[in-house]
Structure 1
Amino acid sequence: MGKYAQLVVGPAGAGKTTYCAVAYDHLCTVDRSRHVHLVNLDPAAGALPYKPTVDVRELVTVDDVMEACELGPNGALVFAMETVLTHNWMADELGDYEEDYLVIDCPGQIELYTHYPIMRQFISMLERIGYKVCVLYFCEAPRFINTPAYVSSVLAATSAMLSLGTAQVNVASKMDMLSEDPEERESIVKQALNPSPFSLAMSMGHPRYARLNAALADIVDRFSLVSFVPLTCTDTDSVQRVLDYVDQSTQYGEDLEPRDSDYIGQGGDARVQDTEGCEWEGADAAVGRYDTEMATGSGTMITPDYSPDYTSGGDLDEQD
């Protein structure tokens, strides 16, 4: 299967820890072939809603650093993260397993992803020991209603993407907090994520900064570097949609061999006929996943549906 890791990053309060717990339970339930491990990489974490396989607090905590070095909370967190990398502790803790799937809960100090090289070095360490890494950058969906907060979130996500230098999936968390009405929620999200550059610039503050705001709005609109996948942690379909994007980014499962249980039909004796009348059976029928509506004579491949779905998950790229 290989070794895979998703780094869950973003500002404090964005729902990273909740997602890690939910994603772990979901993966353990629907995909028992993955050897999933939860990793707490936050030395300042308090009580956690999950039991981590690897916990950085066993090596160092922010409270200990603050007391020993007389540092403030932010400086102590940076010092603690540097300590983790210096001692190569994480690589030793992960061991030499051939098949691992890590869900890594990261600190909520945004500077670690946009300013300091610490997390880039951590990703390099994971890649060096054989992991394929994908970053999940979390933003709170309710922030998108406020234009300055939306632009700030997009720029922060872009900065993290450029700084970390690896595959990144941007997640709009807490979608259920926008509205209880799905149609109203969809309308809010469409309006928030598809504003014109002019409306962005005009709603971003004091006229003194109009030219700066217009330039920032133009960057957001023109380059479209960042798109968001909506997430509601209480919705299993929404969680699965995020995991599908992660699997696409890391090319998860491309090295897996097809099994009899993957074939359509009983005992691996599936037969699929295409529109030309050609018929495949056994392993050949398991290439992709084929529609079993044999009465139509079609061999339609079933692929993930990534059409926009603002109530349960989907890509929030610009809509017409």
Structure 2
Amino acid sequence: ITLSDVMETMSLGPNGSLLYCIDFLDENFDWFCDELVNAVKSVTKPNESMVPYVIIDCPGQIELYTNHTALKSFVNKLNSLAKRETPTDGSDGSVGLDVRLVVVNIVDSHYTNDASKFISVALNCLNSMIHLEMPHISVLSKVDLIQKYSKTDFGLDFYCDLLDLNYLVDKVNEQNDPFLAKYKKLTAALAGVIEDY
């Protein structure tokens, strides 16, 4: 199944087609597992303890994962795969996968240049972490381009550790924007939610 085929045959737009593809994978999970097992077998030697990493790259539209249940269902099915024994009779029976999953949420580093946007992005990361219920790593990408976008208010370590978001809340409030001032308490509360996790 491909996105372009779904768009053409189902007359759906890009996001509708992505949802259809995610639903398709969830509904055809056994087929996906067979394909995955065959792919792993094709690159793994017999009795080899090294198992390759498999990366499932998802599009960046977070609403596809937080507002729709198919990806969560698909991930839960993958996560529930237990390590199964290889048949001892030499047959080519179904071999399971020893699966360990992690979500890597990649965030463009240019969001570090705007305190309110960074709080929003951190909240989106938290949202996907809670929704998918998986070990989760957030990664700032393109850090070599941070200075190209503009100067950040804090060093890179601050954005990686996120120990005290009150500094970001203060930066939001320094902008002298009446809209932002009106929602100062909300911004502080959202920052507190992020810090609590």
Which residue does the alignment assign to 2:93?
none
Between the aligned partners of 1:85 and 1:198, the Cα distance in structure 2 is: 40
**Residue of 65, 69, 78 corresponding to 1:117:** 69
TM value normalised by structure 2: 0.70
Secondary structure at the aligned position of 2:101 is classed as strand
Between the aligned partners of 1:198 and 1:100, the Cα distance in structure 2 is: 42
Residues 205 and 74 of structure 1, relative CA distance in 2, 3 Å threshold: farther
How far did residue 185 of structure 1 move?
7.5
How far did residue 65 of structure 1 move?
1.1
Point out where structure 1 has 5 or more consecutive residues left out of the alignment. 1-59, 227-320
Which residue does the alignment assign to 2:89?
none
Which residue does the alignment assign to 1:77?
18
How far did residue 210 of structure 1 move?
3.1
Secondary structure at the aligned position of 1:109 is classed as coil
More strand by share: 1
More helix by share: 2
Please list the CA deviations of residues 13-54 of structure 1 after superposition, one character each: whole Å capped at 9, or x if unmatched.
Answer: xxxxxxxxxxxxxxxxxxxxxxxxxxxxxxxxxxxxxxxxxx
Residues 223 and 63 of structure 1, relative CA distance in 2, 3 Å threshold: closer
The aligned runs of 1:114-193 (5 Å cut-off) are 114-130=66-82, 131-179=99-147, 187-189=154-156
Q: Is the counterpart of residue 212 in structure 1 residue 179 in structure 2?
A: no
Which residue does the alignment assign to 1:102?
54
> What's the RMSD between the two structures over aligned residues?
2.9
Between the aligned partners of 1:203 and 1:77, the Cα distance in structure 2 is: 40
Residues 86 and 106 of structure 1, relative CA distance in 2, 3 Å threshold: same
How far did residue 73 of structure 1 move?
1.0
Between the aligned partners of 2:168 and 2:189, the Cα distance in structure 1 is: 6
Q: How many residues align?
A: 164
Higher RCO structure (Cα 8 Å, ≥6 apart): 1
Between the aligned partners of 2:74 and 2:66, the Cα distance in structure 1 is: 14
Would the aligned equivalents of 1:139 and 1:173 in 2 still touch at CA under 8 Å? yes
How far did residue 177 of structure 1 move?
0.7
TM value normalised by structure 1: 0.45
Q: Is the counterpart of residue 92 in structure 1 residue 34 in structure 2?
A: yes
Please list the CA deviations of residues 28-87 of structure 1 after superposition, one character each: whole Å capped at 9, or x if unmatched.
Answer: xxxxxxxxxxxxxxxxxxxxxxxxxxxxxxxx1121111111111111111111111112
How far did residue 224 of structure 1 move?
1.2
Residues 173 and 64 of structure 1, relative CA distance in 2, 3 Å threshold: same
Please list the CA deviations of residues 284-303 of structure 1 after superposition, one character each: whole Å capped at 9, or x if unmatched.
Answer: xxxxxxxxxxxxxxxxxxxx
Which residue does the alignment assign to 1:66?
7
**AA aligned opposite 1:176:** D
The aligned runs of 1:1-320 (5 Å cut-off) are 60-88=1-29, 89-95=31-37, 99-130=51-82, 131-179=99-147, 187-189=154-156, 194-196=165-167, 198-203=169-174, 206-221=177-192, 223-225=194-196
Between the aligned partners of 1:70 and 1:222, the Cα distance in structure 2 is: 40
Percent identity (aligned): 26
Residues 141 and 198 of structure 1, relative CA distance in 2, 3 Å threshold: closer
